[in-house]
Amino acid sequence: MTSETMAVEHGRQNLNRLLKWWTGLVLALVAWGIAYSQLVPFSEYVTSLLPVARDGHTGEAIAFFFYDVPKVMMLLALIVFVMGVIRSWFSPEKTRAILSGKREGVGNVMSASLGILTPFCSCSAVPLFIGFVSAGVPLGVTFSFLIAAPMVNEVALVLLFGLVGWQVALTYLTFGLGIAIVAGWVIGRFQLENWLQDWVRDIHRGAAVQAAVAVDRLDHVDRLKFGIEAVREIFGKVWIWIVIGIGIGAVIHGYFPEALMTRIMGADAWWSVPAAVLIGIPMYTNAAGVIPIVEALLGKGAAVGTVLAFMMSVIALSLPEMIILRQVLTLRLIAVFVGVVGSGILAVGFLFNLMF
């Protein structure tokens, strides 16, 4: 075989591969759409198989469970896949290059937005923090990233959208970003570089910035594979939380007395917002577990602001993450972080209870 025919052969194989993947993708989307349109009949059918009265408490709870679980799983699969593909264009290294030397203000806005798009795992929060700071990303801008990345994530947004509605999802996105931007900016204003751990302060500028790793060239198929990998990983982590969360939500739906809920989490109980934030801090579950419960609480008359504050506190102010960050931040700086972010969440909670 001459090199020319080999090249042609290689090109054809590549084309076949692309074609195969795109056809598969389109077929999968069509199957997804058909399955999604059958969710209600499916849950009614499953409920009718069980020996319970459809319109009793138990029947209500079961129908709710078998409608919500598959619905949320399907929405999650689709969005996590799309986000996985989008994230294949981003990396912490690129984000750092964009943010390094950015002024505060603009930097905080960009940082919070990139926090949503950059692949991030709380297990590498420390190396990321040092990588940012030593590359000249201002401290406050780094914080905007670290607040937005876990708080505004696709799992939370999908669950809010699927279970509560797009209005609350959009509100969460907007105010989550808002808190990350403002809190990062405020922390930057305080000029707390001295409150980093000593060893972090001593790192010379640029010391932790190595020559960029040669990046693998990715083609379309690689990016689609990224998406599939993301779905597999997220599902492995959250499916059990979704099932438990929706299970508890279903019980609340079917049995919890509405009057009691309105009294303890209604808009008139002003203390419920700070209480919700405080309770949320030591609670460590991801968005997948808390949102189904949130939805059920809302349905029983809990106030939107209180519930939003609770959710943001659970997701953004988590004890395990603070323990991880303790390696680079002094306790004083962690206290400022919790104080500033907590105040932001409180403000959002009160604002919403006033508005709605």
Partner 1 sequence: MKSVKVYGPGCKRCETAEAMIKEAAAKLGIDVEVEKVTDPKSIAMAGVMSTPGISIEGKLVHTGGLPKEDALEKWLQG
Q: Which residues bind partner 1 (CB under 8 A)?
A: 91-93, 96, 119-121, 123-124, 126-132, 134, 199, 203, 207-211, 213-214, 216, 229, 327-328
How many CA atoms are closer than 13 Å to the CA of 263, on its beta-carbon side?
5
Q: Residue 180 or 328: which CB sits closer to partner 1?
A: 328
Question: What residues contact 114, with CB distance under 8 A and at least 6 apart?
Answer: 90, 95, 98, 99, 145
Give dist(CA 82, CA 117) in Å, integer: 11
Phi then psi for residue 178, to 5 deg, are -60, -45
- The minimum distance between CB 9 and partner 1, in angstroms, equals 19
Q: Residue 174 or 327: which CB sits closer to partner 1?
A: 327
- The minimum distance between CB 292 and partner 1, in angstroms, equals 26
- The minimum distance between CB 261 and partner 1, in angstroms, equals 39
Q: Residue 1 or 123: which CB sits closer to partner 1?
A: 123
The CA angle 322-193-131, to the nearest 5 degrees, is 65
Q: Residue 198 or 268: which CB sits closer to partner 1?
A: 198
- The minimum distance between CB 77 and partner 1, in angstroms, equals 20
- The minimum distance between CB 146 and partner 1, in angstroms, equals 12
- The minimum distance between CB 129 and partner 1, in angstroms, equals 8
Give dist(CA 170, CA 160) in Å, integer: 9
- The minimum distance between CB 87 and partner 1, in angstroms, equals 10
Q: Residue 2 or 210: which CB sits closer to partner 1?
A: 210
Q: Residue 173 or 322: which CB sits closer to partner 1?
A: 322
- The minimum distance between CB 140 and partner 1, in angstroms, equals 19
Give dist(CA 165, CA 180) in Å, integer: 23
* Concatenated DSSP letters of 244-306: HHHHHHHHHHHH--HHHHHHHHSTT-TTHHHHHHHHHTT----HHHHHHHHHHHHHTT--HHH
Give dist(CA 266, CA 2) in Å, integer: 77
- The minimum distance between CB 118 and partner 1, in angstroms, equals 9
Give dist(CA 73, CA 217) in Å, integer: 32
DSSP type of residue 153: -
Q: Residue 55 or 216: which CB sits closer to partner 1?
A: 216
Only one residue has tokens 């809010």, namely 160
Number of other CB atoms surrounding residue 188 within 10 Å? 21
Q: Residue 148 or 297: which CB sits closer to partner 1?
A: 148
Q: Residue 34 or 211: which CB sits closer to partner 1?
A: 211
Give dist(CA 243, CA 292) in Å, integer: 9
Quote the tokens at residue 353. Answer: 């209870």
Written as one letter, the residue type at 25 is L
Whether 258 and 301 have beta carbons less than 8 Å apart is answered as yes
Quote the tokens at residue 268. Answer: 């008139």
